[in-house]
Amino acid sequence: MSSADSKVNFGAKANLRKWPSLENQRREDRPTYLVLEGTLDQCISAFMEKPQATRHLYQIHTSPQPPLVTEILSPEHILELSRLREFLRIRAAQGTFLRSFPLKVMRSESVSAHDA
């Protein structure tokens, strides 16, 4: 899979939904209800703020983005997308940081420090 194939639009419209529950168990005889209408990013963040013990009651509905995003995201899938999102944020921040320091400057400083 190329990096172009694995892009995820975290700004896509999405809904965080919750299963009705009894004693922390899904009531699958009832439909899910809307908790948050927003972007995929916002829904992932809201999901991650939920107590871990209740996350199995939630799912995100969004437009499919093959191959990584399906129409209905399970709690396990949401966790993986959250990890991917954080990885991409860190990678982007590092890239920005490294681009702000030209390689020539970094080399000349390390040589100067070594010679001193």
pLDDT at 102 over 90: no
pLDDT at 52 over 50: yes
**Distance (Å) of CA 9 to CA 15, 43, 95:** 14, 13, 19
pLDDT at 6 over 70: no
> pLDDT tens digits for 84-94?
999 999 988 88
Quote the CA–CA distance of 79 and 62 in Å, as a whole number: 15
Of residues 91 and 56, more confidently modeled: 56
Least confident residue range of 5-19, 35-49, 56-70, 87-101: 87-101
Q: Between β-strands 72-73 and 58-62, what pairing exists: parallel, antiparallel or unpaired? A: antiparallel
**Distance (Å) of CA 21 to CA 11, 14, 43, 55, 73:** 29, 22, 20, 12, 18
What is the spatial order of strands in the sheet that 58-62 belongs to?
A: 33-39, 13-18, 58-62, 72-73
Quote the CA–CA distance of 16 and 8 in Å, as a whole number: 17
Of residues 88 and 5, more confidently modeled: 88
Element (H, E) at 60: strand 58-62
What is the model's pLDDT at position 97?
A: 59
pLDDT over 90, % of the chain:
69
Q: What is the mean pLDDT of the segment spanning 49-69?
A: 97
What is the model's pLDDT at position 107?
A: 42
> Radius of gyration of the chain from Cα atoms?
21
